[in-house]
């Protein structure tokens, strides 16, 4: 590394890529190749392998031996994807971070584009890009979450997540870069009464109450669904969604919003998803 390169690196905020892996030998090389190819100079790649039983640990060690900016957290037991993600956030050194899931690939300027967007907007909590979704059968689809970008009112953002409309790709920002303070404030991704089911929705709901989300209108993230991907193998039931809504209500009520805003969002969740009266929410909270 030259003196000039070192100086430029020191001038950039440290960004941590959070890579939670489990039995990912079929795809993780592509994920790692996309991370080590990033144009952002000050990047930490933090890997937490969740006690894989295939060749994933050997692949990770191979890359860690070749690249100085890769750091590996050793696991003595399986934590589950949620516990793995939370432990990675707790150990991240970066001022900003993002989830680099083991079946995602990001463009070389992914970190540069999103981190720069966050730097330009000090009030924003997260920056995300458009996304290409690749199904196990090879079908490709380009998706965005344009309606959320630039919404400056926290209550409105919370209501958008509470509504969770079918045409609202609420999960796309979870492939974005967020400020470390989000983890400090929220304390990680919370479990709900059904464990890990769609827990990223609860995380993003609370995250949306902390500050605006910025959309970078470029396709910089490529999500590759595998047949084993959790999100396409969850058994979805109305009971699970009611439990998820109750988890969302808890997150909103412990946020820093004013009481009126809290009751507005929680009342919508109670009416729309739980189907009971708002006054029962106030009594129960």
State residue 9's pLDDT score: 60
Backbone angles phi, psi at 261, to 5 degrees: -65, -40
Q: How are beta strands 70-73 and 140-143 bridged, if at all?
A: unpaired
State residue 5's pLDDT score: 44
State residue 233's pLDDT score: 53
Whole-number Å distance between alpha carbons of 52 and 135: 23
State residue 178's pLDDT score: 98
Q: Distance between terminal CA atoms of the chain? A: 55
- What DSSP line would sit under the chain, residue for residue? --HHHHHHHHHSPPEEEEEEESS-TTTHHHHHHHHHT-S-SSEEEEEEE---SSSHHHHHHHHHHH-TTEEEE--SS--HHHHHHHHHHHH---SEEEE--TTEEE-TTHHHHHHHHHHH-TT--EEEEEEEEE-TT--EEEE--GGGTT---HHHHHHHHHH--TT--TTGGGGSEEEHHHHHHH-SPPPBTTBTTTHHHHHHHHHHTTS-EEEEEEEEEEEE--TT-GGGT----HHHHHHHHHHHHHHHHTSSS-HHHHHHHHHHHIIIII-S-HHHHHHH-
- What DSSP line would sit under 217-277, residue for residue? EEEEEEEE--TT-GGGT----HHHHHHHHHHHHHHHHTSSS-HHHHHHHHHHHIIIII-S-
Please name each of the domains of the chain with its CATH number.
Answer: 15-236 (3.90.550.10)
What is the dihedral angle through the alpha carbons of 160, 161, 165, 169, rounded to the nearest 10 degrees? Answer: 100
State residue 167's pLDDT score: 87
Look-up of token digits 């970008």 = 149
Which stretches of the chain drop beneath a pLDDT of 70? 1-10, 226-234, 236, 272-285
Look-up of token digits 């209501």 = 159
Whole-number Å distance between alpha carbons of 112 and 119: 10
């Amino acid at each position: 590394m030259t003196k000039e390169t070192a100086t430029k690196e020191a001038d950039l905020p440290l960004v941590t890529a959070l890579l939670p892996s489990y039995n990912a030998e079929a795809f993780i090389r592509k994920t790692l190749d996309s991370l080590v190819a990033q144009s952002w100079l000050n990047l930490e790649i933090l890997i937490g392998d969740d006690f894989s039983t295939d060749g994933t640990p050997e692949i990770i060690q191979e890359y860690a031996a070749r690249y100085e900016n890769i750091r590996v957290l050793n696991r003595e037991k399986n934590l589950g994807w949620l516990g793995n993600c939370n432990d990675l956030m707790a150990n991240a050194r970066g001022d900003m971070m993002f989830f680099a899931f083991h079946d995602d690939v990001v463009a070389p300027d992914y970190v540069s584009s999103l981190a720069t967007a966050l730097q330009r907007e000090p009030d924003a909590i997260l920056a995300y890009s458009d996304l290409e979704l690749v199904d196990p059968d090879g079908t490709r689809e380009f998706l965005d979450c344009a309606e959320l970008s630039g919404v400056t009112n926290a209550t409105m953002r919370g209501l958008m997540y509470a509504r969770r409309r079918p045409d609202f790709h609420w999960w796309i920002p979870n492939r974005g870069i967020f400020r470390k303070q989000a983890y400090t404030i929220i304390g990680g991704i919370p479990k709900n009464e059904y464990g890990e089911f769609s827990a990223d929705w609860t995380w993003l709901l609370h995250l949306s109450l902390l500050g605006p989300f910025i959309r970078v209108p470029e396709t910089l993230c490529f999500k590759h669904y595998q047949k084993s991907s959790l999100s396409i193998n969850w058994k979805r039931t109305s009971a699970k969604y009611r439990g998820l809504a109750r988890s969302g209500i808890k997150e909103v009520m412990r946020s820093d919003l004013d009481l009126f805003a809290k009751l507005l969002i929680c009342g919508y969740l109670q009416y729309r998803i739980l189907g009971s009266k708002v006054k029962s929410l106030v009594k129960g909270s």
